[in-house]
Amino acid sequence: MYKPSDKTTWKGRTDTQDGVLGLRWHQVVQLLDLSRDVADGNGDFAFVGFSCDEGVRRNQGRVGAAGGPNALRLAMSALADHLPEGVQLFGGGDILCANQRLEEAQGQLGRKVELLLRKGYKTLVLGGGHETAYGHFLGIQKQLKDGEQLGIINLDAHFDVRSYAPQPSSGSPFLQIAHDLAAAGKEFHYLCLGIQESGNTRKQFETAAALGAQYVEAQDLHFGLTEAVRQKIKAFTDKVDKLYLSIDLDVFAAAYAPGVSAPNALGLAPQAVLPILQEIMASGKVITVDVVELNPAFDVDGQTARLAAALIFQIVKFWS
């Protein structure tokens, strides 16, 4: 089910006395109905929400991430407008997961992502649980040209390569993606940054190894972008043509991100992640991004939502 955005989902402080110099994102974002004909994006930014936590429920996690897109939009609304001349923001509404029909919702998300990418938008998907990633991929793969290699960089405490038998969940998207790529005769290029050994069973490590996945543990990222990490990211991005960046907010320590489905006691600090994001975006190969697992039901004073909004602000800045 798709619901277009309206101005009630983008609202915030207005500094009328400052004129155009006092604008915030809620005042400059334009609404885009993805159920109608969409004009070419010309490199503009489009946000689409995936209001779903059915995958989290199936994965035995804390539900509530279905409210993530709306909470994140409200936090983004307050961001100051420092967009470069000519760069525009578009709100593309939400995909809703009705009656626990996750696979239907993922298919719908894939169609919207494919539309936005085909029209030339820089696409940012607002989750939702990490089941968002598989729906996101369904749209990405349709925009890959013959011979193009897709790289996936996931900032996450978990590999999310659990079995999807008997049914997919928020813990299985990257295994599903790997199998889809294999069925299409394509390679699976996956780099996971922020892995917590305590949060992934030996089976998850074995599965990741069997898939040829690369990873950096959280303990090696606490000081940010070391030369070793920079070289690993560069080697990964050099061998692919396009990049899909996924940010699971549970990669951050619970002190910064309490409002997630699976809180992380020893996660990363935002200041350590920013230079890593900048390095990834500087590759020039990122075509789409998602930010997932914001769970406002467990947030404290909206701090996780504000962290997610600040990350998106920086991504838009780097991407512009």
pLDDT for 94 equals 98
CB atoms within 10 A of CB 118: 14
Look at residue 117 in the predicted model and tell me its pLDDT.
98
**Residues paired with residue 199 on neighbouring β-strands, in sequence order:** none
Q: What is the pLDDT of residues 244-285, one digit of tens each?
A: 999 999 999 999 999 999 999 999 999 999 999 999 999 999
In angstroms, the CA 50 to CA 246 distance is 14
Is domain 2-319 given the CATH code 3.40.640.10 in the classification?
A: no
Residue ranges of the chain with per-residue pLDDT less than 50: none
Cα–Cα distances in angstroms (integers) from residue 185 to residues 37, 114, 173, 178, 179, in the given order: 33, 20, 18, 11, 10
Query: For position 7, what pLDDT does the model report?
Result: 85
Contacts of 50 (CB under 8 A, 6+ apart): 69, 94, 95, 97, 105, 109, 125, 126, 127, 128, 132, 135, 136, 290
DSSP state of 302: T
Q: What is the pLDDT of residue 172?
A: 98
Q: What are the backbone angles phi and psi of residue 245, rounded to the nearest 5°?
A: -105, 125
CA 269 – CA 139 distance, rounded (Å) = 31
